[in-house]
A and B are shown apart, each in its own frame.
Chain A
């Protein structure tokens, strides 16, 4: 479904700055969610060698702050491009394309994309879902047709997708476990990961308590406090900045149909990524086989398998085998979530997947560096299967 029009964005924008705060559970960040994000933003600006007042575009994460407030705190006196993409966890990677559109068209010069929260010490995701139906995916659909039946939170909705996939394709629980293990192994190489120093075995995985079948506790992402941010500018401006740029070769986002109802999809396994991935790869002029790594939004283990399939790294139904035997570990055919991901690093709402991709492409990932990484893929997953993807390249 890619079009010539979107291909015009190819190579027109670069990521030039990244920033992250430390992550934690107890005792909590001790900061407001705004302050936490401003710390990550300050780090990203410093990384880029930019003054805050030069930022003229801000794309905040849904429900986690308004562009006006960030601009006021930072001194961005010329904010001329602001939007929030209501794609849940797919928003930060979808924002990569939107930022590229803005800087390529001249609507903005430097676009900032922050996300951060007190996901542990503040209101927990499941509590938000239980008490505020307007902020959950599907809104009234979930409120009127899902929650009364006891399905009020993401792992419960997504478990329905996983269970059907297991039925149709024979995907096994040990294959879900292989995803959790890969993320945990990568976290051992990331001193900034919450689960660094806490290795996991398949026995640990299988012994962890069931939450909602097929999801066990260790299929579920962490709930953490922390923030991250990145900055996008045009390829021309990027050349004058401090860091070696990372170029956005291709980017796209998409939605399943219908996007607000998981239950009545003719193609039950089609997600936003199913249409976004071919569009992004066509724009980039490369194929999934060209990727040296992929940072895949890992809210739950099965969503990694599903996205590997829908992004085209393998055929639908083959994702379970793809992740086994170290297939997605460093040294495997496609290293996935080299930082440990949402499952074992921290829940940075998907911006952490972008910052890690940039780190890898700058060859600054230390012990977990993918050797000679030139091209990387990053995906986002949100709400009831909204999807986003970007294909990134080292240098301009």
Chain B
């Protein structure tokens, strides 16, 4: 890949609608998921209504931020220019205590030590843009 591309900005979520509300919470240091006000089911990705019971009413509910690694990959060769200088990095599906899963990064853990089932805790990283992403650390 062209070296000039190494300065490409990392892809950012588009800050509108439910995505903005989700990431705004992260900016305040809160990992929040939607919770149906009728049946209490948590959900992620944010959506308009509860697929369990059909209810349109929901609230943001704060997560404990505690979970375990459900699956992961270690990216050795970046396939997006903005991540060229970040390899190797770990991306993982984290299953939270609330039952929802989220795709994120596990930071400060040597990739070879990553394991499915590893307990992790949420932390937050402000990006070069303005968005704060939830990331996870070993606990």
Contacts and interface: CB of A to CB of B under 8 A. Distances in A.
Interface of A: 126, 129-130, 133, 140-141, 143-153, 155-156, 159-161, 163-164, 167, 209-215, 258, 260-264, 268
Contact of B77 (A143, A167, A211, A268): A211
A164 B71 contact: yes
Interface string B72-99: 1111111111010010010101000000
A144 B18 CA distance: 10
B45 A163 contact: no
A301 B16 CA distance: 37
Given A150-B80, A153-B79, A210-B77, 5 more contacts: A126-B80, A143-B13, A151-B75, A263-B44, A264-B100
Interface in B1-44: 10-14, 19, 43-44
B83 A160 contact: no
A156 B93 CA distance: 12
Given A143-B13, A150-B78, A156 B103 contact: no
Interface residues of B, number: 38
A212 B77 contact: yes
A141 to B, nearest CB: 5
A150 B111 CA distance: 15
A281 to B, nearest CB: 29
A213 B51 CA distance: 33
Nearest to B70: A164
A10 B14 CA distance: 46
B138 interface: no
A209 B77 contact: yes
Contacts of A156: 73, 75, 79, 91
Given A144-B13, A264-B44, A126 B133 contact: no
A251 to B, nearest CB: 28
B11 A148 contact: yes
B102 to A, nearest CB: 7
A156 B80 CA distance: 11
B101 interface: yes
A260 B86 CA distance: 27
Contacts of A153: 79-80
Nearest to A257: B51
Contact of A152 (B11, B73, B74, B100): B11
Contact of A163 (B14, B71, B89, B105): B71
Contacts of A261: 45
Contacts of B12: 148
Q: Please list the 3 inter-chain residue pairs (A to B) with the smallest Cβ-Cβ separation, ordered nearest first.
A: A159-B73, A164-B71, A144-B13
Contacts of B101: 263-264
Interface in B87-139: 89, 91, 93, 100-105, 111, 116, 127, 131, 133
